[in-house]
Homo-oligomer: A and B are copies of this chain.
Amino acid sequence: MLKEIKASELNTDKFIAEKVNEIMSAVGNGTAINALSGGVDSSVVTMLGHRALGKKLRTVFIQNGLMREGEPEAVKDIFSKLGVAVEIIDSKKDFLDALSGITDPEEKREAITQTFYKKVFGRLVRESGAKFLLQGTILTDVDETVAGIKRQHNVFEQLGIDPQEAFGYRILEPLIQLRKDGVRLTGRALGLPEDMFNRIPFPGPALAARIIGEVNEEKLEIVRKATSVVERMLANRGAFQYMAILHDDRVTGMRDGKRDFGRQIEVRCWDSVDARTASPTNLPFEVLEKLSASILKEVPGVVSVTYNIATKPPSTIEAV
């Protein structure tokens, strides 16, 4: 049985030393691999794995083409400064192909998950020859998997592989006794930069969750640019989360004096404590005006911008 380590009882130095030792003795002279997303859990696992294994750990960042502007490079840069080499794997085409023609939100999520585990990361693990896979599973993931809310406990099960029997792979989950607050304490103790812990939530399907209708390269480019504007202009407003959503509907606009069917960007900025309920942030009207002007100026093809004024419920935080 998994014994929870509460953040209030966590001695981070002792915890780190124990986990580094466990990883070292498990891997021995072998090699390990892990996928870094830039989120807190996988970042902490990367640091623990690096301390334990050094160059015997291969850390990959899967560039799925759904990331925000400069995101893969920013993650690589953070870890480079901490002495950890991160390999960016360009898998844009795999994900775009998998998403082609899909408009249903659930099917989009499924296509991304399947492409990640079955196709891209699955192949990397097999090709790497690594006998150990480091995973950032935390106790909340286990709870949610048991409760049927999420499915992320065991990546090999999702691959259809019994790692022990079939290949002798072993999964190492050094964070599995912690919850988010414990992971954050550990990350700080490992020297991860402070702004990694203060980032606003970002969904698993990344920018694919910010596109209504089919996801394609053109739409990703538009929503990526709009996301940059929104994140730049709404940072430091104390909001829980803020985002740009690209609509599939076309609306009438004007360019150079002529009618022009264009794109609409919806901005959402939420006040919330725990994401279970949320309300739109009361942004000053001048901020909304500037935000709209910047999006209309900087994002090609956009002729209309709206600000979400509905509460959750009945809305959800994300639109897709």
Contact = CB atoms under 8 A, between A and B. Distances in A.
A131 to B, nearest CB: 40
Contacts of A261: 105
A252 B319 contact: yes
Contact of A305 (B267, B282, B308, B316): B308
A291 B310 CA distance: 9
A274 interface: no
A252 B105 CA distance: 9
Contacts of A212: 249-251
Contact of A304 (B262, B305, B319): B319
A194 B252 CA distance: 33
Interface string A194-224: 0000000000000000001100000000000
B254 A316 contact: yes
B314 A310 contact: no
Contact of A314 (B303, B312, B318): B303
Assembly of this chain: how many copies?
Answer: 2
Nearest to A261: B105
Contact of A253 (B247, B285, B305, B316): B316
Contact of A266 (B279, B282, B306, B311): B306
A223 to B, nearest CB: 14
Nearest to A283: B285
A210 to B, nearest CB: 12
A248 interface: yes
B306 A262 contact: no
Given A212-B250, A251-B320, 7 more contacts: A212-B249, A247-B247, A252-B320, A259-B316, A266-B306, A306-B306, A306-B308
17 contacts: A212-B250, A213-B249, A248-B248, A249-B249, A251-B315, A251-B316, A253-B314, A254-B313, A254-B314, A267-B309, A280-B292, A291-B309, A296-B314, A303-B310, A304-B308, A304-B310, A306-B308
